[in-house]
């Protein structure tokens, strides 16, 4: 029995990839157009060996001691062998010289493109979410030809040049001599048919454009750059193809009072010096309506009051962030004589007529409190 492994120069446990690689190398070296007539017999042996070892079933028979080529009465050479593999050896898997590739004509139908539009939202709308109607120009299936691309009463005609195959064959010269290659038909563009009378309303595209009003549910928690995907709500495809997707990109407008930091909101509340010293309850207007802020007696500038659950709705999970109210203790700058005298009396009672300069410890002064307020701690 012929030693096919020895012919290809591979071990008996060689992988499929190793066998194919060895065959390609030898086929290039021994092909008659390269090595001449003296390499023809050796080329046939290599082709026969690969015919067996390159096929899993035949290789299994051979490993059991049965030569499938002898058993089937196949002659030497390349009978029963994949000629496509020979061509691939020289041309890297391009068009086959042994006939048209089994790909058929191309389809005119194409998926529609994705469409991107922008939607501006206020900070309050980002906090709670909103339903918005937006205007967008989109492609629709043509109402006249219904995506066929043809004028009413007509239909695509089989291409006369390629006879509906979508491809044409050309003769080219190579190491194998003259080979037949295939290429898309230049007349029909590879579709296998031509449109003799295109639809006048869509210019043979099978779709037309018009303005649409689209209702979009914008969830709470969106921010600038967030994209909402509406599947199959974009442009209709060419020749009746499926629609693409519609994307709405959010642009959040800044608010005059509240600042957003992630899921939290921040604002500043001015507190008179006397109220900060004595303590009070102030009412502030929030997105959730009036809310009371408890100012403790002795409150310092930069203190923060945290109102839980009054921040921005979370986009990917339940709940809302918090609202941080930063207290700005205001010192009066214009005093009447009576007011100034009262403050001097207060200073005297507190022993602060001539206060001494005292440095606050690091981490406990106003700057630390301001930092904590900025970082959302309080």
For residue 305, the SS3 value is strand
Q: What is the pLDDT of residue 97?
A: 43
- Asked whether 232 and 243 are in contact (CB, 8 A), the reply is yes
φ and ψ at residue 58, rounded to 5 degrees: -65, -35
Average pLDDT over residues 218-228: 94
Average pLDDT, the chain: 83
Buried b (16+ CB within 10 A) or exposed e, 131-148: eeebebebbbbbebbebb
- Residue 77 pLDDT grade (very low, low, confident, very high; cuts 50, 70, 90): very low
- In the three-class reduction of DSSP (H, G, I as helix; E, B as strand; rest coil), residue 62 is classed as helix
Q: Is 267 annotated as a binding residue?
A: no
The reported pLDDT for the residue numbered 75 is 38
Confidence at residue 214, expressed as pLDDT on a 0 to 100 scale: 94
**Quick one: 45 exposed, middle or buried, by C-beta within 10 A (0-12, 13-18, 19+)?**
middle
69-73, 212-216, 307-311: lowest mean pLDDT where? 69-73
Give the C-alpha separation, 128 to 124, whole Å. Answer: 7
The pair of structure tokens assigned to 350 is 């507190």
pLDDT score, position 72: 43
- Going by C-alpha positions, the residue among 285, 290, 293 that lies closest to residue 255 is 285
| All residues at 6 or more sequence positions from 118 whose CB lies less than 8 Å from its CB, including other chains | 248, 249, 250, 251
Does the annotation place 150 within a ligand binding site? no
Average pLDDT over residues 304-315: 93
- What confidence tens digit (pLDDT) does each residue in 318-328 have? 899 999 999 99
Q: Is residue 145 annotated as involved in ligand binding?
A: yes
Global confidence as pTM: 0.62
Q: How confident is the model at residue 34 (pLDDT cuts 50, 70, 90)?
A: low
Given a cut of 70, whether residue 332 has pLDDT beyond it is yes
Question: 345-366: per-residue pLDDT in tens?
Answer: 888 888 877 777 667 666 554 4
Q: Is the pLDDT of residue 33 over 90?
A: no
Condensed to tens digits (0 to 9), the pLDDT of residues 131-179 reads: 999 999 999 999 999 999 999 999 999 999 999 998 888 776 666 566 7
> What pLDDT sits at residue 37?
67
Cβ-count burial 53-87 (b if 16+ within 10 Å, e if not): bbbeebbeebeeeebbbeeeebeeebebbeeebbb
Residues 190-198, mean pLDDT to the nearest whole number: 91
CA distance 212 to 197: 29
pLDDT at 344 over 50: yes
Cα distance between residue 4 and residue 62, in whole Å: 9
Q: Which of 28-37, 54-63, 307-316 has the lowest mean pLDDT?
A: 28-37
Q: Which domains does the chain possess?
A: 4-91 (1.10.287.110), 115-146+203-252 (2.60.260.20), 259-374 (2.60.260.20)
Residue 149 in marked binding region: no
159 belongs to an annotated ligand binding site = yes
When mean pLDDT is compared across 14-18, 173-177, 200-204, 361-365, the lowest value belongs to 361-365
């Amino acid at each position: 029995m012929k030693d096919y492994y020895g012919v290809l120069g591979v071990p008996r446990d060689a992988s499929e990839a190793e066998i194919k690689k060895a065959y390609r190398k030898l086929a290039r070296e021994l092909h008659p157009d390269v090595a001449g007539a003296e390499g023809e017999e050796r080329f046939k042996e290599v082709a026969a060996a690969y015919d067996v070892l390159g096929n899993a079933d035949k290789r299994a028979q051979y490993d059991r001691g049965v030569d499938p080529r002898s058993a089937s009465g196949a002659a030497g050479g390349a009978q029963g062998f994949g000629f496509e593999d020979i061509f691939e050896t020289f041309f890297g898997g391009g068009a086959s010289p042994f006939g048209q590739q089994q790909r058929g004509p191309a389809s005119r139908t194409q998926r529609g493109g994705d469409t991107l539009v922008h939607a501006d939202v206020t900070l309050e709308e980002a906090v709670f979410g909103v339903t918005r109607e937006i205007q967008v120009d989109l492609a629709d299936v043509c109402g006249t030809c219904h995506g066929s691309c043809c004028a009413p009463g007509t239909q695509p005609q089989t291409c006369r040049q390629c006879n509906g195959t979508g491809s044409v064959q050309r003769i080219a010269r190579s190491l194998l001599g003259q080979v037949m290659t295939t290429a898309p038909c230049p007349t029909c563009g590879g579709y296998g048919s031509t449109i003799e009378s295109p639809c006048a309303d869509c210019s043979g595209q099978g779709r037309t454009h018009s303005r649409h009003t689209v209702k979009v549910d914008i969830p709470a928690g969106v921010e600038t750059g967030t994209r909402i995907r509406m599947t199959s709500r974009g442009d209709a495809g060419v020749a009746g193809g499926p629609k693409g997707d519609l994307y709405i990109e959010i642009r959040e407008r800044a608010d005059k009072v509240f600042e957003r930091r992630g899921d939290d909101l921040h604002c500043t509340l001015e507190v008179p010096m006397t109220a900060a010293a004595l303590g009070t309850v102030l009412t502030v207007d929030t997105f959730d309506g009036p809310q009371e802020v408890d100012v403790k007696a002795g409150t310092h500038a930069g203190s923060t009051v945290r109102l839980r659950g009054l921040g921005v709705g979370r986009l990917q999970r339940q709940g809302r962030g918090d609202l941080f109210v930063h207290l700005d203790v205001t010192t009066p700058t214009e005093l009447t004589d009576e007011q100034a005298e009262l403050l001097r009396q207060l200073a005297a009672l507190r022993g602060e007529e001539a206060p001494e300069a005292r440095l606050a410890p690091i981490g406990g002064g106003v700057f630390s409190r301001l930092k904590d307020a900025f970082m959302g701690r309080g």
